[in-house]
Chains A and B, each alone.
Chain A
Amino acid sequence: MLERVGGPKARHFFQKEKISLGVFLIPAIVIVLVFSLFPAFYSFFLSFFSWNGFSPTKEFVGLKNYRTALNDPELKNSIIVTLIYSLLVTFISIFLGMMIALALNEDLKGKKLLRLFYFIPVVTPSVASGITWKYLFDPYNGVINSLLKYLNITGPQWLNSTSWALFSVSIVGIWKRIGFCMVIYLAAIQDIPNSYLEAAQVDGATGWHMLRYIKFPLLMPSTFFLIITGLIDAFQVFDLVYTMTNGGPIGATDVLGFLLYRHAFKYFNLGYASIVSLTIFIVLFILSAIQWRYTQGGAKNVG
């Protein structure tokens, strides 16, 4: 590892100065311990208790919270809803992001402006996006249904329909992520050596062939990276749901993040909230482990 950092000279320095190296690490270690590891373990500890955070006594209930979780239709619903949301957002945004990146890589007039245009949603705060989209989706006065009406289509109830609500929230999630996928793909496409494409051209490859047999395979590491980070990101969604639907109607958009929020900060069921967070943790842990393994401990440069 050290060799990669700075060669023999640096290695010599670090060997001599192991103590100072340790000193440099202390602040980071303390922060991780105090603000990440301790709360995580404490939350696990709390999952065996019934406690609202106000009462001076925590009641030990053993595995009761776990048994409740196994039979909880709301938790089951939340897992399904979160999975659907994550898959929709991750894969559709990757697909669209790739299309846009391929298009914007060509010599297009105003492509810089277009890149900016697609990237703006990424840096727009989720809360602001959620509230704005809520207005756009309004079934009676909203822009979207007014436009549809113009085309003689009766728009759906969007956020108030149990079948459309999750899809509507996903649209916003996708809209917010396309720009990020685009940027990653743009960088990756520019990394593809021109000689490959020229050689293929000489061999008489069509545009589709070059896309299918050269660009797609060479973009695979980026795609993989985007799938994993996309799923991790989407699995923790909260703000869009909080601002747009409040988990409704009838739990149609009740993602795990929102269920966790409800139990922790609305019902003050800290024990049960810990189990919900544990569920999220397990999924994220598996996803991170896959990525860690694939990229060989983060040493391999993805993208």
Chain B
Amino acid sequence: MLMEDLAQAAIEAALDGGATFADVRIENTVTTIIEMSDGVTKRSLASRLRGAGIRAFVDGAWAFGQTTDLTLKGMRDTGASLGRLAVATKSKVMERFDVDGPTFKDRVEYKVKTPFEDVSFEDKMAFTKMLDEQAKAFDSRIVNTRTIYGDLWTEMYVANSLGTSVWSETSLPRIISVSFAKDGTSRQRAFKSHGSRGGYEEMEKERPQKIGTESAEMAVNLLSSIAAKGGTYDVVMDPVLNGVMVHEAFGHACEADNWPAHTTVLEDKVGKSVGPEHLNLSDDPTMPGERGSFEYDAEGTRTRKRHLVKDGLLTDLLHTLETSVRLDMEPNGSARVQSFMYPPLARMSNTLMEPGDWDVDELIADTKDGILLCSFNYGYTDPSKGQFQFQASHGYLIEKGEIGQMVRDVSLAGQILEVLAKIDAIGKDFEMDAGTCGKGGQSVPDMSGGPHARIRSVPVGGM
């Protein structure tokens, strides 16, 4: 059965049931995950996700459901029942609005050199084992290694009652290396990952081929680190941590679903200054080869670059069709889903700080006493409180403008409305790192990054 016909059956049934707008995502995803520890396979997993997510809408009320019964009857039944659910919900909504937006008809094939399905499980296993052994062989103090290979191929067809009909595909490889080092009573862990958009050929590039050594070396180096002393510091962030800062401290607060819900401290800031004039923050799903890139979003809207902060002003937000109507702003293709089992949410893609004009060495030399924070363990935020936190995996004290003692597990906390104003120097280098972002119980692949940058006087947690 054609995806177009299946989607149309659900849409028509939802409209017949009383909905004024309906959309459908039909997904077919194939994944492989191979996890090895100390040279032994711990997990070898293959999966297929196949099903449809359907939404029906009327007068401000949404109904969402899913089905794996991809027959005309299955789609019609689910569409009709969601149409009825939307109508039943309608009497309880307070704000009435319509869903509207541009329509797209397209088919975007994503060409890769080596599709994942052309590579045998044995070859993927051998690659994972090579990296696991590479980490183990780095140093006798490496006591445990863990290597995870993952590939994901997805085709997604999106159609809606406005006339959108878009088929697109994507292909995402990822490799993760986690090394544990032990010396006497000191036990340390290091995590390194590499992710991009492409086929298996991406794993044959230089960095993924050496990621075992990269994580093992970091774990061994951490053995001689000390816990940072808590206090207020001038902080220089490396590109990876800077990306996490932009993502946690600002990106989430720009998701436009926060506006109708009144859950962001940026609510009154659109068009206004949120940081220094030399500050530019973007979210760009059109970057070639990046893990957070996609041509069309989960509502079938063509994506474009979002200049969230331009010359210090908050200029754009991350929109779904609904938020662009309710805020009267242009839709920009920010609706994402973890899979067909979830409704679309406004989300980030590749989030970054644009480079500035500082030479990195000069930036560090200019920081008399401070701390250089690198890479990350995790971060989180609550845009309604305006508070965020993120944790660097390691860092170095900066003493008299020179990099000194290595420190570890350093957390940085701050206020969304305060932190950007404290950024006084932005480097001219640039790097992105792979991540996974969680919101509303859904995880999606993303990237974040930027140049080195300095934040003056922020609280850093220590032991």
A pairs with B = no
Residues of B within 8 A of A (CB): none
Residues of A within 8 A of B (CB): none
